[in-house]
Amino acid sequence: MKKKVFIALLACVMSFSCIAPSFVGATSSDNSETANTQEKMTKEELNKIVEETAEEVLEEAPRVERETDEIQTMGAVSVGTKLIRIFGKSYVTKKLPKKIYSKFPAAVKNEVSESAFVNFWSAYVLVGGLDEVQNTVSNYLKPYVWDWVAESAGYIAQGTVWALL
């Protein structure tokens, strides 16, 4: 069921990411340069970014060794809990958000600092469910960048987390 929801969400985000640039107007010369660069981002490029980021994380991230298999008894577990069980708390709260931030479009990096995103990641993204990652990240970034850029960044964040889990 989660895969169907994710695929539907992915299709919506990708459609929006491809259509929205034609409706966005630049307000200054700096923003127009960023917009021209970002307009060229296709769903194939977004998927490639997600795949590369997931591969990099899986190669460099430490794995937490468990002595016994733990059976999950809770009905709902946060993204943070799942990731921490796999990679450890330090990596998930400090290094993983930096890795994801490094893959965001330039417009996001110009408006939101890495430390601000890392703090947001720990406070809001890790406590929510997997299906909420894209919306949480997008809604956080929308006041700073165009909606379609925020949606693309949200897609990158959720796709990376989805690939890791």
Residue 55: domain span: 2-22+43-63+76-164
pLDDT over 90 percentage in the chain: 24
Over its C-alpha atoms, the chain yields an Rg (Å, rounded) of 16
Are the CB atoms for 119 and 153 separated by under 8 Å?
no
Decide if 70 is inside a domain. Answer: no
| Residue 55 resides in a domain | yes
Q: Reply yes or no on whether the pLDDT at 22 is more than 50.
A: no
Is the residue at 128 inside a domain?
A: yes
Residue 33 belongs to some domain of the structure: no
Count of structural domains within the chain: 1
- The full 3-state SS of 144-162, as one line of letters, equals CCCHHHHHHHHHHHHHHHH
Distance CA 85, CA 63 (A): 9
Tell me the average pLDDT of the chain.
74
